[in-house]
A and B are shown apart, each in its own frame.
Chain A
Amino acid sequence: MRIASLSPHARIFLVLVPLLALLPLVLPTYQVTLANNIGIFALATLGIVLLTGIGGMTSFGQAAFVGISAYSTAYLAIGTDLPAQLGWLGGSPWGGLLLGMVLTLAVAALLGALTLRLSGHYLPLGTIAWGLSLFYLFGNLEFLGGHTGLSGMPALRLFGISLDRAESLYYLIWALVLLAVVVTLNLLDSREGRAIRALRGGQRMSESMGVNTFRAKMVAFLVSAGFAALAGWLYAYTQRFVSPAPFSLQAGIDFMFMALIGGVGQVWGALIGATAVTFLKQWLQDWLPHILGRTGNFESIVFGLLIVVLMQRMPGGIAGWLARHLGHARKLAPSAQPAPTPVEPLPRRALPAKGEAILEVRGVTKRFGGLVANNDISFDVHAGEILAVIGPNGAGKSTLFNQLSCVDRPTSGEIRFRGRRIDGRTAREMAGAGLSRTFQHVKLLPTMSVLENAAIGAHLRGGKGVAAAALRLDRREEARLLDEARRQLGRVGLGQHLHAEAGSLALGQQRILEIARALCADPCLLLLDEPAAGLRHLEKQALAELLKRLRAEGMAIVLVEHDMDFVMGLVDRVFVMEFGEQIAEGVPETIQTNPAVLEAYLGGVE
């Protein structure tokens, strides 16, 4: 394999692995110990990168998670007064790892279940409060040694090899760090990973594409806590002593600062941040007492100010800056490159027979307080038919559209999709049933590629989970998902832009991309909210051709649109609304001469 064909991540590995392997041979033991600490910090910080930088959630409880695991490990390793139920785990490092992992994940699952459905402020506040209470708990529990902690841990022995020297622990720690980086990179480049990456700013969109956003948040939170647990296990065996202080809220804040300084949006930011902060802290602790004339935790002033400046001037941190200046910003993983071999296409849903009623709207009324936004609306849409909903601004089209797409529920009346009642169901449930949509205000993930954006639409057509993604057991399915996305993008005319960032497309192209994403879900009903807005003449013609082709295949399409030229030449029937009421319905020719419609659009003739 030629170096030029490797992904940027692979190239970093190629440089980093030999470098890391050689370090302990040339560094004095003191520096190796420092490198061990950096590795442990990097592992915990990697969790923050995944959670905060990629998932858009904030936790200050990472140090507390490290603490749970470190205490579990120390408690079992010392193993002097274990309760009978835990006796079989005593003295074994695997037991410590298991207990630490289980306890950490259990606490994370509880905290996640309580806060992740709520707005983004509750997780950080919850982890601050909980991190503090855990700190006081460690300091007060007799069997954990109170404020003095637990000491006298035996050295780590794995498979009969004693890892009692800093140099031997070094290889274990850094192997695990690199493994965690690989696992994270694999996870992010997968179906579940796209769901996590869509959490920042794309939650409503991904719910409509069938993604369970709560689950995606939980996955990110648990993986992040898992890294902390692993770091805690290593920490206990590196220090062979645990006390409450290193797991305080302050330490949790330090991990967040490491991630931010290193670059919270990039996996490598965790390694850079842990290294930079550790060295900077040491340097400041040497120099600040000379400058200020007394000792104290004054480096926190410098770090705090650094974070403020960073957030104002360079939110991407060091890694973000490097990525921008070394030219390969946000290059995507290899699987995003052109398809190497043809893959078996994904199975398709059996499309309903032409003419079958797909959507039946009966007496739908929506009230917002005293305002009646939709009043007694009824219509049908059939397979192989395009219906346009038109009306002046404020007619209630968007309200109707929200109810059809299950974002909002009617006050009264019912909506049936293929005979099943859907009003009151969630947008996510409907995505699975074959209803797909686009948004009036384009909802794309601007820093993800066009291909990945489209692939989110195919989320429910794959089933591989987190473990499969982390271990790359999902490659066949992933290739099929991406192939489907590629096919739909080709179909709408975006085949040339697969690897561009979605945010770099023109507005019209972004609308078309939304249609490709909706098609990836293999729907039988397509809801399009102003698809022609912002499109140029030729693009409109191409869009009309595409919709006609979909109609011919048996798709039912509902579109809300203002562009009358576009609508009248394309659709089978037009449904006209004004002030929340239905004022006309029929084929385009009769609508164009309908007096009520003319009155609504042009005003009455005296």
Chain B
Amino acid sequence: MNLQIVMLLGQDGVTNGAIYALLALSILLVFTVTRILLIPQGEFVSFAALTMAAMQSGTPVRMGWLLVALALAAVALDLYDAARGKGRWRPRGAALAMLAYAAAVTALTGLVPLDKAGVAVQALLTVALVVPLGPLLYRVFYQPIAAAHSLVLLIVSIAVHVVLVGAGLLMFGPEGARTEPFSEEGLSIGMVTLNSQTLWVVAVSLLLIVLLYAFFERTLYGKALRAAAVNRLGAELVGISPEIAGKASFGLAALIGGLSGILIAPITTIYFDSGFIISLKGFVGAIIGGMASYPVAALGALFIGQAESFSTFWASSYKEVIVFTLILPVLLWRSLSHKGAEDEE
């Protein structure tokens, strides 16, 4: 192993690690605000990547149909709640607006020749398709049981993941896909050539982290979400609706997942079920951060990226084994520094 290989592997590690860090942050955000472990986080990644790939190859983009189906379910749930006396006797404006939006985006993706539209338009449209998935999933699957035991929330998360993977197979088929790189040129510094996609990933990740920081530190919505994360009941008492907080955190998670998918689609071949393994590495980062600390989770995820990259070199077929076994020492450390039995809500 010479310096060149080290640099190459390190670069790969940084690229993947940055994506894992984004996912880890998003997982933590959803977990602290809603107590939900967002197992379907990875589906945002794979759906975005495959949607983008479908646009570029000129095959029909079927993501919109999932949105329409979920939006219909949301309207139906609103009506059902109303019938049981829990709301007004007509769907709420938000649900109808979402349905209209889903129909419009679906129509747009069906009518416009997307393969000629250019990467920026494709990416924008992909984001427009993936982000509403977040709030819709929250509305349809989680909102009716938002107060349930965290065990129930976890099981529902697993079930939603299973449903989405099945839907992914239905929408995108079993074949993997890769998209065109955003730009061709790399950047040469001395003997090292930085891959252009690496630069894109790092730049977008940093930008996203800065934006998230600004959102949580500077805006009222961001502060409200933080309040909901610290104390759900207290936040509700001062007027922060847990529904809004849940939908907002899911929307952010879908945005982060969707952007991650667009960023890695040119580097890795993505299949309908690839998202899970990718997001699980974000989970490992979040576990390193103790399901609580953002900076430690991000650093942990970067470390996972490096560990994965270097184990590809030494023992490529054992890559996943090594990465997932890494959580054992982390759990040991967590376990030793923990004391006392606590009942969970």
Q: Which residues of A contact B (CB under 8 A)?
A: 52, 56, 58, 60, 110, 113-115, 117-122, 124-126, 128-130, 132-133, 136-137, 140, 201-204, 207, 213-214, 253, 256-257, 260, 292, 296-301, 303-305, 307-308, 311-312, 315
Chain B residues within 8 Å of chain A by Cβ, number: 48
* B214 interface residue (CB < 8 Å to A): no
**Chain B: minimal CB distance from A510 (Å):** 17
Residue from the list B169, B327, B341 in contact with A126, Cβ < 8 A? B327
Cβ-based interface call for B159 (8 A): yes
Contact A311 B317 (CB under 8 A): no
Nearest residue, chain B, Cβ from A203: B341
B156–A296 touching, CB < 8 Å: no
Q: Are B37 and A296 in contact (CB under 8 A)?
A: no
A360 and B331 alpha carbons, distance in the complex (Å): 40
Stretch at the interface among B117-125, B192-200, B230-238, B283-291: B283-291
Once bound together, how far apart are the Cα atoms of A315 and B160, in whole Å? 16
Which of B106-114, B143-151, B203-211, B243-251 lines the interface with chain A? Answer: B143-151
Say yes or no: is B83 at the interface (Cβ < 8 Å to chain A).
no
Contact A132 B159 (CB under 8 A): no
Interface centre among B152, B162, B174 (most CB of A within 10 A): B162
B344 touches A140 (CB 8 A): no
With contact pairs A129-B280, A132-B280, A311-B156 given, residues A298 and B166 touching in the complex (Cβ less than 8 Å):
yes
Among the listed B163, B284, B317, B335, which residue makes an inter-chain contact with A308, where contact means beta carbons less than 8 Å apart? B163
Measured between beta carbons, the chain A residues less than 8 angstroms from B152 are 311, 315
In the complex, what residue of chain A is closest to B333 when comparing beta carbons? A114
Q: Smallest distance from the beta carbon of B308 to chain A beta carbons, Å?
A: 12
Q: Answer whether A120 and B344 are a contact pair too, CB < 8 Å, given A128-B280, A311-B159.
A: yes
B318 contacts partner chain A, Cβ-Cβ < 8 Å = yes
CB-based contact B160/A58 at 8 Å: no
**B8 at interface (Cβ–Cβ under 8 A)?**
no
Partner of A297, one of B144, B166, B325: B166
Report yes or no: B338 in contact with A118, Cβ–Cβ below 8 A. yes
B155 within 8 Å of A (CB atoms): yes
What DSSP secondary structure best describes chain A's contact surface? helix
Instruction: Report if B187 contacts A (CB, 8 A).
Output: no
B:292-345 near A, CB below 8 Å: 317-318, 320-321, 323-325, 327-328, 331-332, 334-335, 338-339, 341-344
Q: How far is the CB of B268 from chain A (nearest CB, A)?
A: 17
CB distance from B75 to the nearest CB of A (A): 17
Q: Measured between alpha carbons, how far is A119 from B159 in the docked complex, in Å?
A: 21
- Chain B, residues 265-285, CB within 8 Å of chain A (1/0): the string is 000000000000100100110
Q: Is residue B79 contacting chain A, with contact meaning CB distance below 8 A?
A: no
Contact B335 A113 (CB under 8 A): yes
CA of A140 to CA of B317 in the docked complex: distance in angstroms? 7
Query: Which of chain B's residues have a CB closer than 8 A to the CB of A214?
Result: 341
- Cross-chain contact of B320 among A120, A136, A207, A297 (Cβ < 8 A): A136
Q: Which residue of A lies closest to B330 (CB)?
A: A114
Q: A122-B287, A125-B37 are in contact. List 4 more A-B contacts (CB 8 A).
A: A114-B328, A202-B343, A299-B166, A303-B159
Complex Cα gap A364–B260 (Å): 55
